[in-house]
């Protein structure tokens, strides 16, 4: 009867195993009820259900049982595992619920200091842009916008900068490898001047507009250059508009923008689409004007804020108007540069670094 003896022994082992599973479940339920936070829950899970936890050890041991016993113990252990996983989830939810209840019913302590909320405000470049548009608006200029993705023809060609013209080196360009309505090449506009052409093509003089917008240059950045900048284009075309009108308009702008104490300088310059061309500069706010280490003016004492000039007669006639009768002036200014002057900012890159410690100063 050796076989019967073996059988009886295995049955004993089966009962032991089942009893052990039941004991594990009882102990685990009791200890789970005392777990009060997430760390305790996790420790409990590791100890009971983890890779070397009590239940896992039982499941590992069933390999030494015979097939029938293995099934009975395996089923009991797996059922126990599911029960305990459910109990763990229920305990976790109960704790979370209790925490919410406590929060909702906690007495309001009116003696605690308040939590200040910082109100948002406009970015300094946006404020500067609005100031510029306001000043020109009061002088009768309407604000209009144009496309940032522009045709070579408007950005360069019709502004008298044909392909291979050396002046193209003044504007390092981001080219776009697409075409629109079969028209090409496309680029990210390097200045807002293309709107001179677009507007004059559709609107007969008198014209008095300002064009705000983003422009892009493929160039290295430093304290006074960014690869993206905002510009405002100024254009006035009418009968009898002269260089004196340009000078008066820009001086009035500088006076309203920077106050009467800031000095401005008009000096000779060159842009292919104006004749003559001038440059408007404002005296350096950062140094007495002769410090070669000054990061803003580099010792020149002056910061150029816009290029300007009389609209070239060829541009007026190319849009279909009599250039003998209609004359005009144009100017283009960098909004960031004007913001730097107005707020005493030494590095243009800080405007777009999104550092709240910087932005909260304005």
Question: What residues act catalytically?
Answer: 171, 191, 217, 231, 274, 330
Binding piece for Zn ion, criterion CB under 5 A, among 139-147, 176-184, 274-282, 290-298:
290-298
Binding piece for Zn ion, criterion CB under 5 A, among 163-171, 178-186, 259-267, 279-287:
279-287
| Euclidean distance between CA atoms 147 and 343, whole angstroms | 29
Quote the crossing angle between the two packed helices 2-32 and 54-61, to the nearest 10°: 170
Nearest distance, CB of residue 297 and Zn ion, angstroms: 3
Q: How many beta carbons lie within 10 A of that of residue 248, not counting itself? A: 12
Q: How many residues sit in the footprint of Zn ion (CB under 5 A)?
A: 6
State the DSSP H helix or E strand holding residue 274, giving kind and residue range, or none if neither. strand 274-283
CA 360 to chain centre: 16
Sheet holding 149-151, edge to edge: 149-151, 186-188, 175-176
CB 146 within 8 A of CB 213: yes
- Exactly one of 17, 35, 84, 294 binds Zn ion (CB under 5 A); which one? 294
Nearest distance, CB of residue 282 and Zn ion, angstroms: 11
Q: Across-strand partners of 101?
A: none
The answer to whether residue 286 forms part of the interface with Zn ion (CB under 5 A) is yes
* Residue placing its CB nearer to Zn ion in the complex, 139 or 287: 287
* Residue placing its CB nearer to Zn ion in the complex, 181 or 261: 261
- Exactly one of 287, 318, 323, 359 binds Zn ion (CB under 5 A); which one? 287
Binding mask 77-106 for Zn ion (x = CB under 5 A): ------------------------------
Q: How many beta carbons lie within 10 A of that of residue 73, not counting itself? A: 23
- Exactly one of 32, 250, 284, 310 binds Zn ion (CB under 5 A); which one? 284
Binding piece for Zn ion, criterion CB under 5 A, among 93-101, 131-139, 233-241, 296-304:
296-304
Pairing relationship of beta strands 207-216 and 142-143 according to DSSP bridges: parallel
The answer to whether residue 263 forms part of the interface with Zn ion (CB under 5 A) is no
4, with CB counted inside 10 A (0-12, 13-18, 19+), is: exposed
- Applying CB under 5 A, the residues found at the interface with Zn ion are 284, 286-287, 294, 296-297
């Amino acid at each position: 009867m050796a076989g019967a003896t073996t059988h009886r022994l295995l049955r004993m082992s089966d009962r032991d195993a089942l009893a052990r599973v039941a004991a594990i479940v009882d102990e685990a339920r009791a200890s789970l009820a005392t777990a009060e936070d997430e760390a305790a829950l996790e420790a409990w899970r590791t100890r009971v259900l983890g890779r070397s936890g009590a239940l896992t050890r039982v499941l590992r041991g069933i390999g030494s049982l015979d097939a029938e016993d293995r099934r009975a113990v395996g089923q009991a252990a797996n059922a126990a595992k599911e029960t305990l996983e459910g109990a763990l989830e229920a305990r976790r939810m109960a704790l979370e619920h209790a925490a919410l209840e406590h929060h909702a019913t906690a007495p309001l302590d009116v003696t605690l200091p308040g939590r200040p909320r910082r109100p948002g405000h406009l970015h300094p470049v946006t404020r500067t842009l609005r100031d510029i548009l306001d000043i020109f608006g009061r002088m009768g200029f309407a604000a209009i916008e144009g496309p940032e993705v522009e045709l070579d023809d408007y950005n360069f060609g019709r502004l008298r900068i044909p392909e291979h013209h050396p002046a193209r080196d003044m504007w390092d360009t981001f080219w776009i490898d697409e075409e629109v309505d079969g028209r090409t090449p496309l680029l990210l506009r390097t200045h807002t001047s293309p709107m001179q052409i677009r507007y004059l093509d559709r609107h007969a003089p008198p014209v008095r507009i300002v064009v705000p917008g983003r422009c892009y240059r493929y160039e290295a950045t430093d304290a006074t250059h960014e690869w993206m900048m905002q510009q405002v284009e100024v254009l006035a075309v009418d009968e009898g508009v002269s260089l004196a009108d340009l000078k008066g308009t820009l001086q009035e702008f500088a006076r309203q923008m920077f106050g009467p104490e800031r000095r401005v300088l008009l000096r000779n310059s060159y842009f292919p689409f104006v004749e003559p061309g001038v440059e408007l500069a404002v005296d350096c706010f950062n140094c007495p004007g002769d410090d070669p280490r000054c990061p803003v003016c580099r010792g020149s004492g002056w910061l150029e804020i816009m290029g300007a000039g009389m609209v070239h007669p060829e541009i007026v006639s190319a849009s279909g108007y009599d250039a003998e009768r209609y004359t005009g002036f144009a100017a283009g200014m960098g909004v960031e540069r004007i913001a730097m002057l107005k707020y005493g900012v030494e590095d243009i890159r800080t405007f777009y670094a999104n550092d709240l410690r910087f932005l909260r100063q304005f």
